[in-house]
Amino acid sequence: MDAMPPTRYQPSDYYRDVASTLAVHLADVEARRTLRPSSPDGPATYLTTPDRLVAVHLTPGDGADSATAATAALQLAEQCAADALAPVPLTDADGGLWILARTTGDAVAAATRYAGQLTATAPELATDDPAAADGRCLVTVPAPGQGIVPVPYTLLIGRTGWAAAIPLHLDEIAAIAAGMPAEFDPADVGGRIAARGDLAAALLAPTPG
C-alpha cells in the first residue's frame, strides 16, 4: 500500500474526511494509541480486543503477497458466513489483512477455531508457525483482553508510511486474490464512504431498543 504523500494529503485532512464514520467505531469502546513494533516512529489507534469481536490477522511471509492473504481471507470469510456472521476484511497497512466479525458468543474461541480450520484445510496458504511462514500467511489471533485490533478507518504506520485501515468488500478481496493490485489510497476513503457507506458497519453493536 502506497505511503500517503505528505504535501498532498495530511493525516489531519484524512481524519476530517472520515471523522463521522470513525467516531461511531470509537464510541463506547476501549481504544488506545500505540506504537507498532515494526514502525516505532509513529502511533496508531487500536482497539483492545473487544469481547464480541472475532479477529484473525493474516500477515504474508517472505515469498507470499497480498493475493495469498486475500485467498486465505476468502476462506476465513466463508467460515464466518457459515456461522451466520458478517465478515469484514480490513487492510493492515503492511500488505496483510484482518478478518473481523461481530458475534454473540466467545469471540476468541471462534477466531481460534477459524484459524485452526484454515491452517488445517489450506496448509499451502497459511500457518500459525512464524518459522514456517515463507510463501504463506502467518495466521494470528489476538489474546483476549490483551491483543489489539486496528480501528476501521484509523491511520496506521506501515513499512511505506501512513496508510489507512480500510474496510473492503468481499468482491475486492476476490479481485486481489485473482491478482489485481491491492492499492487503496487513503485520500479516496472519504469518497468510498460516500459511495458505498460504512463497509465496517457489521462490527458495530446493535443500537439499544
Cβ of 200: how many Cβ atoms within 10 Å?
Answer: 24
The total of structural domains in the chain comes to 1
**Does residue 163 contact residue 155 with C-beta atoms inside 8 Å?**
yes
Q: Is residue 207 in a domain? A: no
Which pTM was predicted? 0.87
Residue 23's domain comprises: 11-200
- Band (pLDDT 50/70/90 cuts) for residue 180 is confident
Pick from 36-40, 48-52, 146-150 the range whose average pLDDT is largest.
Answer: 146-150
C-alpha Rg value of the chain to the nearest Å: 16
pLDDT at residue 104 tops 80: yes
Domain at 67, CATH number: 3.30.70.3300
Top pLDDT among 27 and 129 is at 129
Q: Is residue 5 in a domain? A: no
Segment holding 18, helix H or strand E: helix 11-26
Q: Is residue 165 in a domain? A: yes
Backbone φ and ψ of 113, nearest 5°: -65, -45
Nearest Cα to Cα of residue 87 among 96, 78, 95, 178: 78
pLDDT at residue 4 tops 70: no
